[in-house]
Amino acid sequence: MPRRVGILGGTFDPIHSGHLDLASAAERALGLTEIVVVPAHIPPHRSAPMASAFHRFAMTAIAVAGRDGWRTSDLELQKAGRSFTAHTLRHMSENGVPPSELFFLIGADAFAEIGTWYDYPAILDLAHFAVVSRPGFAVSELRRRMPELSARMVDAPRIEQAPAIILIDAPTADVSSSAIRRRLANGESIAGLVPAGVQQHIEQHRLYTSESPDPAGPRPSPEPAAGRLHGHK
């Protein structure tokens, strides 16, 4: 079976069911053999995460535990400065995963902002972009909204040899990290919005509350679509 490595990048402040639904949809549609979750150190063009790198890495590790072929990587957390997807994809290629075997997993709303990303449009040649529908933003809208890229778009499960934009129409949870942080700040439950282990970690360390001991926060920040799912706008 050919190797197909999915990369799920983002701030994950915190990781939630929407992230996991997105990656699971791509895994099923494309037959991914591995999924690597890569928390960003410092996301470009947005405020610093509220939770520290330690807690965000821990929450992603908890979220993927027990999922066959899934793992968390600290690749971006090891590097000082801002985290760019282009650098991560080039690192993967230089370390034995060519673009034809690499799939960057992203929501349709975040992909609609790809023109603002670092190293665009060259970044589209570094991996396949597996784009999954999000609540209120179906992948079917992308050809109309982004005609300049429509020639590179194909419908899953079709996979081209050269890096392509693969559209995956699948349901994903209607949740965002910013909404979870607001609920926690207001003392509301987040049950079902994050994996149970992630909820336990948040509650144990009192993250995203006024009593949070986390040295990174709390600091509220605006969060565009790319920030909600990927942290790269």
The token duo for 49 is 């995460």
In this structure, what CATH number is given to the domain that contains residue 157?
A: 3.40.50.620
Give the model confidence (pLDDT) of 182-195 as tens digits: 999 999 999 999 99
Tokens of 199: 């909820």
How far, in Å, are 64, 178, 180, 185 from residue 122 at the CA level?
30, 30, 34, 40
Alpha-carbon distance of 100 to 137, in angstroms, equals: 27
pLDDT of the residue at 80: 81
Q: What does the alpha-carbon distance between residue 208 and residue 96 come to, in Å, rounded to a whole number?
A: 38
Q: Of all helices (H) and strands (E), which one includes residue 102?
A: strand 102-107
The count of other CB atoms within 10 Å of the CB of residue 3 is: 13
Residue 132 has pLDDT above 70, yes or no: yes
For 6-34, the pLDDT digits (tens) are 999 999 999 999 999 999 999 999 999 99
- For 130, the domain range is 5-229
Residue 130 pLDDT exceeds 70: yes
Q: What pLDDT shows up at residue 112?
A: 97
pLDDT at residue 45, as a whole number? 65
pLDDT value at residue 146: 98
Amino acid found at 77: L
Residue partners of 167: CB distance under 8 A and separation at least 6: 131, 139, 140, 142, 153, 154, 155, 156
- The predicted pLDDT at position 74 comes to 96
Looking at 44-101, which runs of residues are DSSP E strands?
Answer: 70-72
Residue 231 CA: distances (Å) to CA of 25, 83, 100, 198:
20, 9, 24, 19
Domain count, the chain: 1
- AA identity, residue 10: G
CA 200 to mean position of chain CA atoms:
21
Residue 214 and residue 55 in contact, taking contact as beta carbons nearer than 8 Å: yes
| 181 pLDDT tier (thresholds 50, 70, 90) | very high
Residue 96: CB atoms within 10 Å? 9
Query: What is the per-residue pLDDT across 196-232, written as a single tens digit (0 to 9) for each?
Result: 999 999 999 999 997 544 444 434 333 443 333 443 3
Whether 5 has a pLDDT exceeding 70, the answer reads yes
